[in-house]
C-alpha cells in the first residue's frame, strides 16, 4: 500500500489523547496513526477489526464516516489549525472490508478565514478507492 517513493513523516499524538479515531489512551478506539506526505496530505494505514462491522465481513457505515472524518481533521491539524467538523458528506462506493489493510488519505483543498474545505478517501489493498468524503471544518480558538 505504501508507495516505495513516498516520504512520510509521522504525526505526533499526545499520550493522553482519548480521541476515538487516533487516541492511544482510548481502550475501545481505532488507534489510527497518521503520516504527513510531501504534498501536505495525511495518510494512515489501518486494518480495522471485525468489532466495528455492520454486515458480516464489512465495516459499519458510521465507522467508514469516522475514518474519513478523522483523515480530514488530521489534514486540517497538519496545517497547524484546530477545527471541528461542520459538514461531512460520504460516498460509499464499495463495501469496506473488516480485517483487511486499507489506506486512508485526507487533504485540505481550500481555506477561507475560519472555514476549511477538505477531502478524504479510503483505498483497499489493491489501491481501489472504496469510499470518499468531503467536509467543511470550522477553526476554533481556545
Q: Is residue 13 part of a domain?
A: yes
In the block, cell 458510521 appears at 62
The cell 491539524 sits on which residue? Answer: 77
What's the pLDDT tens digit per position in 1-50?
656 678 999 998 776 889 999 988 899 999 999 999 999 999 999 999 99
Q: Which residues pair with 94 in a beta bridge?
A: none
Q: Does residue 1 fall inside a structural domain?
A: no
CATH of the domain at 44: 3.10.129.10
- Domain annotation covers residue 90: yes
Bridge partners (DSSP) listed for residue 11: none
131 falls in which pLDDT band (50, 70, 90)?
very high
Confidence of residue 62 (pLDDT cuts 50, 70, 90): very high
2 in a structural domain: no
pLDDT, one tens digit per residue, over 113-123 is: 999 999 999 99
Q: Beta partners for 87? A: 136
Is residue 39 among the annotated active site residues? no
> Which domain range does residue 104 map to?
9-139
pLDDT digits (tens, 9 = 90+) for 71-93: 999 999 999 999 999 999 999 99
- pLDDT at residue 125, rounded to an integer: 97
| 99: pLDDT strictly greater than 70 | yes
Residue from 39, 50, 69, 112 carrying the catalytic annotation: 69
| 23, 27, 30, 77 from 51: Cα distances, Å | 17, 13, 10, 28
Query: Count of domains in the chain?
Result: 1
pLDDT recorded at residue 120: 98
Amino acid at each position: 500500500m505504501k508507495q516505495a517513493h513516498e516520504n512520510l513523516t509521522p504525526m505526533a499524538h499526545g499520550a493522553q489523547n482519548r480521541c476515538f479515531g487516533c487516541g492511544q489512551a482510548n481502550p475501545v478506539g481505532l488507534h489510527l496513526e497518521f503520516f504527513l506526505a510531501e504534498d501536505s496530505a495525511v495518510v494512515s494505514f489501518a486494518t480495522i477489526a471485525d468489532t466495528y462491522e455492520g454486515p458480516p465481513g464489512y465495516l459499519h457505515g458510521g465507522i467508514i464516516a469516522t475514518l474519513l472524518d478523522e483523515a480530514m481533521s488530521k489534514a486540517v491539524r497538519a496545517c497547524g489549525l484546530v477545527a471541528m467538523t461542520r459538514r461531512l458528506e460520504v460516498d460509499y462506493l464499495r463495501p469496506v472490508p473488516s480485517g483487511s489493510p486499507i489506506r486512508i488519505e485526507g487533504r485540505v483543498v481550500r481555506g477561507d478565514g475560519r472555514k476549511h474545505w477538505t477531502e478524504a478517501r479510503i483505498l483497499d489493498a489493491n489501491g481501489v478507492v472504496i469510499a470518499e468524503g468531503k467536509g467543511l471544518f470550522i477553526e476554533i480558538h481556545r
